Every structure is written in structure tokens, then in C-alpha cells.
Amino acid sequence: MERFSSVSMAVVRRLPKYHRYLEELIKNDIRRVSSQELSKITGFTASQIRQDLNCFGGFGQQGYGYNVDELHDEIGKILGLNKLYNTVIIGAGNLGQAIANYSFFDKSGFKMTAIFDVNPKLVGMKINDIPVVDVDELEQFINEHNIEIIVICTPKSQAQKVADIATRTNIKAIWNFAPTDLKVREDIIVENVHLSESLFTISYLLKEKEEQYRKKK
Amino acid sequence: MERFSSVSMAVVRRLPKYHRYLEELIKNDIRRVSSQELSKITGFTASQIRQDLNCFGGFGQQGYGYNVDELHDEIGKILGLNKLYNTVIIGAGNLGQAIANYSFFDKSGFKMTAIFDVNPKLVGMKINDIPVVDVDELEQFINEHNIEIIVICTPKSQAQKVADIATRTNIKAIWNFAPTDLKVREDIIVENVHLSESLFTISYLLKEKEEQYRKKK
DNA sequence: TAGATTGTTAATCGATTAACAATC
DNA sequence: TAGATTGTTAATCGATTAACAATC
């Protein structure tokens, strides 16, 4: 994936966490928060939090801290959550359905417009009010509906094919759940969710802990 | 999450990628690979690959490179993939079912023993041959079956409750898909998969790209 | 004004890359 | 032996933390 600005991905990947925790604070009617308090909640150091936020502007006030509502809003804008992104899901299996059913994404501006599948039994159905469409119509649909993001929830074997079709269109980003690294145009953003890599990290840590434990004895 | 050894998480999180790519090479009957070739495939630098591997031992041979089969095997062992982990899934919604149906995890040593749910209609059913059990029996089941890993696929509202129950047992790790940060005993490994954080990263990059584009004009 | 807390610079720490001697 | 490529040390780069002056 290309980088476009000077803000590091390490910082960017912390932004959604800030956003989420600020939401919690709003729910609890907390109006004001210092970097130190945020530190306690998020686990990041206060210094890091101030550094991170100052990549985007001075949202705080000396002697006071940050206004929770305002900061939440600003981070939302930085993340682009005030915009609408026409999105489609490809693959109506359990994973595709899970994402279709998780209305939070829709509420956050990712408009789930259709789900594509090869299975003729599913085509024509609706999942969480989102129509299931034949995958043969994918390319045309993307073009006609100005789809910007595609979510790949197909088996590994189909993922690259789907990416190839999508790459012929004007889509801008791929959210890929297939356990493979897609080859696409340089200008397309690819965000991978590789579940097995996440799970394997657990087994690594388990094994390591076991070994440490044995050594101590 | 605690760290236990000197190998950094940055390195650990690359190991599953090496493992996966080596599998591809084996499938293509390639027996031997240099760090330079691996660099081309994985996108990491050859230097980094050699550094990474040497955290665990000298698996290569000067002038030759690495034996693909052997390296794949060694990394598998490092990741603990030669062991069995009794695992349960909590939440038989789409996500829980997706994981239950993805037999790759089972093949990798994560023995999916049961799926827990509150819905009495689901209890007693089987998903990919894995029984659905009433969540009331969770604690007892964990104890009786020596469960080491639990996978939380419940809604956000239930996640901490489930974690609290599990924390009373001897489980060793939690794979958490609920969009919240769990509070658990220090000695339990928690690996989060926060989907919305991943998706929000996409919208950040989209927005940023848009801005860059506008600036150029 | 005094106290608190930010914004920002400088110091530290860690991870990545470069270079090359060792050796197959 | 000559060529290739590792293992490993040193250099560089980037990210995190510490410190403190600015200021609300």
C-alpha cells in the first residue's frame, strides 16, 4: 500500500481506538478529558497521545485538557467518517453475512449496497435488507453504482479473480478477508484481515509462555 | 498483553506470513529459496528476513539459501503449530459460524470443541460437526475439557461477561472479535481482531488520498 | 495569580537497513 | 577454487518517551 502523507501508520492505527474510547466517555456524560486520563483508559502514554493528536492540530487547551465531544468529532473527520462510501461485499458465506449484518459499518458511512455470490439459491434474497446479486454482475454493478470499496469474503481460490474484476473498475479500496495477498493496481488501497495470522500469534505466545514456565522450574 | 521473551512482536507477526509463503513454495515444488527470493515474494527486505530468522536459529546455509521444507517446518514449530489447543467458540452468530466452518484452524491444531450460544433453538445443533452448547454450561465445559483458548464472537454487550466467566477457569488465551477491550487477568493472552479499526483505516487513507489529489490540481 | 495541562523540542529506545566477513 | 549467500555487526532511521516552556 502506498503512503500519501507524513503521518505514520502507527499513529493512524491508533486513531480508531481514540475514537472508540471517546465514544465511551460521551456515553458516560464525561465532557472533558486530559491526556493523562486518556492514558489510563487507552493504555498509551499521555505523551504519545499528545504527540498523536498534534499530528492533526492542537485540539486541546493548556490547563484544561480536551473537550470530549469536540475531539471525538475531529478524529471522526480525520478518519473520514463524515463521508459516505458505497461498498459491496463479495461472498455471501458466514463471513460476508456477518459483515452485512453488522449495521455499525453502515452507520459509520460504509453503505453496504449489495452482496455478491455465485450460489443461485442465495441470489435474490436479502440479508439485513441488502440484496444478494449474482457475481457475474459485479463489474457492471460497481460501475453503475459508483462503488468505492469492495469487501472480499470469498474463499482464497476466488479472491484474486474478484480482485482482477474489481481492478478493471474505479474502485478505490479493497478490504480483504481471504488468506492471500492480492495483486492489484498501485493506486488501490488494500487492507488485509488475515485471521490465521492473528490466531498463530496466539499459539506462538502460548508456546513461548510454556517454555518460560519450564525454564523457571 | 505481557511479553515473555526478547523477540519483538514485530518479528512474531511476520512469522505467519513466512509460513504461508513457504507453503506456497512447497505447493509449487520449490525446494530451495534465498532471502533475496523470499524478499521478492513477501515484500520484506532480504536483510530483514535474515534478521528475523536468526532470532530463532541459523536455518540457512551460506552460498545456498534455505531449504524450503525445513524452514517451513521450523517456523511451524516456532509458531507452536505442532501442538493441539482445545478451543471453544462463544457466539454462534455469523461470525462464530464462519470460524467454526473454517476447517483450516482445526487443521492447524486449534481443536474446535464446542460453540456456545444463548439461543435455545441453536443448542443441540451441529455446525461443521461441532456441537452447539448452552452458554450456561461454559464454565463447567472449559474445566472438564481442558480448554485453553476461547474465541469471543458475541455482541459487545456480552463480551466482558463471557471473559469474566472464562477468567475463573484455567484458559490461557482469548481471541476476541467483540469491539471492546477486555479486562482480564494479567497472565491471559488476549488477541483482538477489531474489524472496525481496520475498516476505519481504509476511510482514513481514502480521505487522505482525496486531499492529496485536490492539492495537486 | 497559581495550578494544571497542553504543544513541542530534545533524548532515548527499538526496529530496519546496510555492509561485509564467514563459509558453504 | 570462485561464486553465492548466509549470519552478524554496525549504521541509520523512525517511533516513543521525557522534559519543559507556553498558556489557559
Are B208 and A11 within 8 A, CB to CB?
no
Share of chain A above pLDDT 90, in %: 92
Give the cell for residue A184: 492489484
Q: How confident is the model at residue B1 (pLDDT cuts 50, 70, 90)?
A: very low
Using one digit for the tens of pLDDT, what is the confidence trace for A3-61? 446 899 999 999 999 999 999 999 999 999 999 999 999 999 999 999 999 999 899 99
In this predicted structure, the answer to whether residue B7 has a pLDDT above a threshold of 60 is: yes
pLDDT at B57: 87
What does chain B come to in residues? 217
pLDDT at B197: 97
pLDDT tens-digit readout, A123-166: 999 999 999 999 999 999 999 999 999 999 999 999 999 999 99
What is the tens place of the pLDDT at every residue in A172-182?
999 999 999 99
Nucleotide nearest to B45 (CA to C1'): C17
Indicate if CB(B63) is under 7 A from strand C: yes
Of B9, B148, B197, the CB nearest to A13: B197
- CATH T-level fold of A9-78: Arc Repressor Mutant, subunit A (1.10.10)
Q: What cell does A180 get?
A: 492471500
pTM of the predicted structure, to 2 decimals: 0.95
Contact A193 B196 (CB under 8 A): no
A199 with B97: Cβ contact below 8 A: no
Contact with chain B for residue A86, Cβ under 8 A: no
A58 CA – D23 C1', rounded, Å = 13
Residues 61-80 of B with CB under 7 A from strand D: 61-66
Where do the structural domains in chain A lie, given as residue ranges?
9-78, 85-196
Is A175's CB within 8 Å of B202's CB? yes
Closest protein residue to D24 (Cα–C1') = A62
- Residues B185-197 pLDDT 10s: 999 999 999 999 9
DSSP string, chain A: ----SSS-HHHHTTHHHHHHHHHHHHHTT--EE-HHHHHHHHSS-HHHHHHHHHTT---EETTTEEEHHHHHHHHHHHTTTTS-EEEEEE--SHHHHHHHH-HHHHHTTEEEEEEEES-TTTTT-EETTEEEEEGGGHHHHHHHTT--EEEE-S-HHHHHHHHHHHHTTT--EEEE-SSS-----TTSEEEE--HHHHHHHHHHHHHHHHHHHHHH-
CATH number of A85-196: 3.40.50.720
- Band of pLDDT at residue B212, cut at 50, 70 and 90: confident
Does residue A18 reach within 7 angstroms of strand C, measured from its CB?
no
